[in-house]
């Protein structure tokens, strides 16, 4: 059940990280899997069967067939109801903000229906994607829709874009003060810019990227001890690493080792 990754239109590369698809029969799909925060928002189109969402605190509900998932700050547990067929538009951390006037922060940890995001145009996008027969058709539809929407929207904030690049380059290891100094901006102003453009604070995004770096070591079967992962990623100590690990995955590192890493990191890619 490995995802297939595709490039967006060249004019969208500043906004869209990649497109990808996921297909699987029910027999090859885990009963449940955990989506771990990765700092990106995603448009998700289920042309296969729907998925349940199981909140840690609250009643389970069936997700919409097509929706945007806001920035995740905690593990997001889903369960297939049948055969998986999914097309995803994965945005850069600040990539979705130019396409909406709705508060990015208000979308946190929520599935947002396309009608609420884009009105009748969103309903048409949903119908067109679901009726498409191939991945290339779905990519062309998404490219055309996003390019048309982009023409009438604002461009991305350059300071936020630059700071995100710095966070990624240093794998989330810089402090907020260091990021603010590099951006030559007061940390409160930088935090406000991130809230409106990313939906996360600089500190939250840094924590997520730092943990994702450690998780990739596990995903790619690199034989490292908990101590190695702790100090390579510059956590204060093992308890600090375990605390952050559990915040975003819902389990301890030892518990995570026993899970299906490929499914737990379903949104992971080298993109």
CB 70 within 8 A of CB 104: yes
222 pLDDT higher than 90 = no
Tokens representing residue 93 in the block: 């951390």
Q: Element (H or E) spanning 187, and its range?
A: helix 187-197
pLDDT at position 262: 47
Q: Does residue 256 register a pLDDT over 90?
A: no
Task: Answer whether residue 232 shows pLDDT above 80.
Answer: yes
Residue 63 phi/psi, 5-degree rounding, is -70, 155
Lowest mean pLDDT among 24-33, 125-134, 210-219: 24-33
Using alpha carbons, select from 156, 127, 134 the residue that is nearest to residue 13: 156
Sheet of strand 61-62, all strands in order from the earlier edge strand to the far edge: 33-35, 76-80, 51-53, 61-62
Element spanning 233, H or E: none
Q: Could you give the dihedral angle defined by the CA atoms of residues 239, 181, 200 and 41, in that order, rounded to the nearest 10 degrees?
A: -110
**pLDDT at residue 216 in the model:** 82
Domains of the chain: 4-150 (2.60.120.10), 158-264 (1.10.10.60)
Other CB atoms within 10 Å distance of the CB of residue 45: 25
Give the span between the Cα atoms of 106 and 81, in whole angstroms: 28
User: What is the pLDDT, as a whole number, of residue 26?
Assistant: 65
Q: Using an 8 Å Cβ cutoff, are 106 and 97 in contact?
A: no
Q: For the segment 44-95, what is each residue's pLDDT rounded down to a tens digit?
A: 999 999 999 999 888 999 999 999 999 999 999 999 998 899 999 999 999 9
Tell which residue, 65, 163, 75, has the closest CA to residue 123.
65
**Cβ neighbours of residue 212 closer than 8 Å, sequence gap 6 or more:** 36, 38, 39, 172, 268
Residue 26 CA: distances (Å) to CA of 1, 30, 50, 51: 11, 8, 12, 12
């Amino acid at each position: 059940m490995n995802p297939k990754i595709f490039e967006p239109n060249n004019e969208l590369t500043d906004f869209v990280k990649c497109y990808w698809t996921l297909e699987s029969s029910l027999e090859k799909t885990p009963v449940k899997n955990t989506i771990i925060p990765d700092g990106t928002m995603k448009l998700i189109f289920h042309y296969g069967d729907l998925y349940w969402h199981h909140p840690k605190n609250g009643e389970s509900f069936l997700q919409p067939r097509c929706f945007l998932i806001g920035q995740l700050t905690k593990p997001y547990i889903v369960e297939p109801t049948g055969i998986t067929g999914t097309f995803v538009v994965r945005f850069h951390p600040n990539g979705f903000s130019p396409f909406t006037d709705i508060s990015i922060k208000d979308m946190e940890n929520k599935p947002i229906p396309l009608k609420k995001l884009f009105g009748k145009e969103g309903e048409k996008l949903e119908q067109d994607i679901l009726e498409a027969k191939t991945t290339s058709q779905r990519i062309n539809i998404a490219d055309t829709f996003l390019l048309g929407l982009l023409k009438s929207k604002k461009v991305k904030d350059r300071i936020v874009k630059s700071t995100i690049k710095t966070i990624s380059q240093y794998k989330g290891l810089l402090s907020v003060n260091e990021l603010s100094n590099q951006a030559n901006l007061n940390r409160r102003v930088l935090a406000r810019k991130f809230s409106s453009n990313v939906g996360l604070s600089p500190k939250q995004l840094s924590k997520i990227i730092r943990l994702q770096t450690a998780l990739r070591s596990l995903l790619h079967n690199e034989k490292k001890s908990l101590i190695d992962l702790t100090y390579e990623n510059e956590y204060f100590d093992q308890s600090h690493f375990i605390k952050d690990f559990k915040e975003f995955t819902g389990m301890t590192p030892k518990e995570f080792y026993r899970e299906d890493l490929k499914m737990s990191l379903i949104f992971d890619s080298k993109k």
